[in-house]
Amino acid sequence: MKFRNFPMVPRVVFGRGSFDQLGEILTPKRRNSEAPFVFLVDDVFEAKKALIERIPLCCNDQIIYVSAEEEPKTKQVDALVKQLNDNFAEKPSGIIGIGGGTLLDMAKAVAIMLNNPGSASEYQGWDLVHHQAVYHVGVPTISGTGAEVSRTTVLMGPERKLGINSDYTPFDQVLLDPELTDGVPKNQWFYTGMDCYIHCVESLTGTYLNAFSQSYGEKAMELCEEVYLQDIEEKESQDKLMMASWHGGMSIAYSQVGVAHAMSYGLSYLLGVKHGIGNCMVFDEIEEFYPEGVKVFKKMVDKHQIYIPKNVCAGLSDKEFDTMINVSLSLEPLWENALGKDWKDTITRHKLRELFERI
């Protein structure tokens, strides 16, 4: 048996208002005045001048606004890398991603691709990156994905939606300031937060579970239940959800996700459904695999009066179902974690089609 030796984020700051410490953190990492820090910022903040003015710019540092409307694409990463190579004489001193999972993944991918030749699509998979990434920092502004701790950056490529999973992917520094999550729309708060809750359910009920994953998964689940089922004060809720996301991410680092993720990747590939909401749409219909988790999820949906889209697969063609089924079935470790080594006995193409038809 070979045990996994995975990297973790080496430095992390936590605290309300800690965003103001970013300048002090970055200064020693500046190579010289020609090597800028590049801030990739969710364009939802473009109009929020109060936050933008707190970004510690100096020398030729640059802010690039990126839309989180769609999930990040390999060609978008390639274009950003080209833009940085064309615009600056020196390689950036660092890339700082400020936003949700979309921006965090974008920052990780750009940092990797600045030091590795070719297109980002050539690195989708496991351990295909050979050179250290440029110094990169993650500053989440919405909680749930665990992208701030994970060893992957999930990208939509020409052929597949798949992460660049590598030892060079994790951030060198993460700054967790729960205040930055002020203003997240309620539905989005729920969908992204449920990504964390579903990570916990899939990890804790999976066959890959070990004490390492369990310890993080249980803590994350407890925090999610406090946030979504109890009536706690907003600041406390923001703090707790940010830590839930972190622990949920740590939990799946040493285990795996399961049925909801395998199916939601298919939905997202075919229909462009975003990760958080896609997971919720699937999870709502798979009580047979996660009876307890889905029951609690439905309670949370009810309590917060959240809209979960229905019938999105009605009217799809056979070919379209096949595409979703192919994407989903290719994620073998997810199925194996969920259902064990003999998962193929349960999850036939026919069964999977029936499951997709419910969504």
* Binding positions for Zn ion, rule: CB under 5 A: 195
**Cα separation, 121 vs 158, whole angstroms:** 7
CB of 167 to ligand NAD, least distance (A): 14
Nearer to Zn ion, 195 or 336 (CB): 195
Q: What is the DSSP letter of 73?
A: B
Note the residue count of the chain: 359
Nearer to ligand NAD, 153 or 173 (CB): 153
Nearer to ligand NAD, 105 or 239 (CB): 105
Residue 240 touches which member of Zn ion, ligand NAD, none, C-beta under 5-8 Å by kind = none
Residue 150 touches which member of Zn ion, ligand NAD, none, C-beta under 5-8 Å by kind = ligand NAD
Residue 129 touches which member of ligand NAD, Zn ion, none, C-beta under 5-8 Å by kind = none
Are the beta carbons of 200 and 290 closer than 8 angstroms? no
Residue 141 touches which member of ligand NAD, Zn ion, none, C-beta under 5-8 Å by kind = ligand NAD
Nearer to ligand NAD, 202 or 336 (CB): 202
CB of 157 to ligand NAD, least distance (A): 12
Nearer to ligand NAD, 184 or 294 (CB): 184
**Cα separation, 110 vs 134, whole angstroms:** 8
Are the beta carbons of 202 and 258 closer than 8 angstroms? yes
CB of 104 to ligand NAD, least distance (A): 7
**Cα separation, 198 vs 279, whole angstroms:** 8
CB of 145 to Zn ion, least distance (A): 6
Residue 276 touches which member of Zn ion, ligand NAD, none, C-beta under 5-8 Å by kind = ligand NAD
CB of 202 to Zn ion, least distance (A): 9
CB of 57 to Zn ion, least distance (A): 33
**84: buried, middle or exposed (CB in 10 Å: 19+, 13-18, 0-12)?**
buried
CB of 257 to ligand NAD, least distance (A): 9
**Alpha helices for the chain (secondary structure H):** 22-26, 49-52, 74-87, 101-113, 186-204, 211-229, 234-253, 259-271, 275-283, 291-304, 318-329, 332-339, 343-346, 349-357
Nearer to ligand NAD, 93 or 165 (CB): 165
Question: Both tokens of residue 334?
Answer: 């997810």
**Cα separation, 171 vs 111, whole angstroms:** 9
Three-state DSSP state, 225: helix
Query: Contact positions toward ligand NAD, by CB under 6 A?
Result: 42, 44, 68, 71-72, 99-103, 105, 141-142, 144-147, 150, 152-154, 180-181, 183-184, 188, 192, 195, 274-276
Question: Both tokens of residue 231?
Answer: 């009536």
Residue 238 touches which member of Zn ion, ligand NAD, none, C-beta under 5-8 Å by kind = none
Question: Both tokens of residue 7?
Answer: 């990297």
Residue 100 touches which member of ligand NAD, Zn ion, none, C-beta under 5-8 Å by kind = ligand NAD
Residue 55 corresponds to which amino acid? I
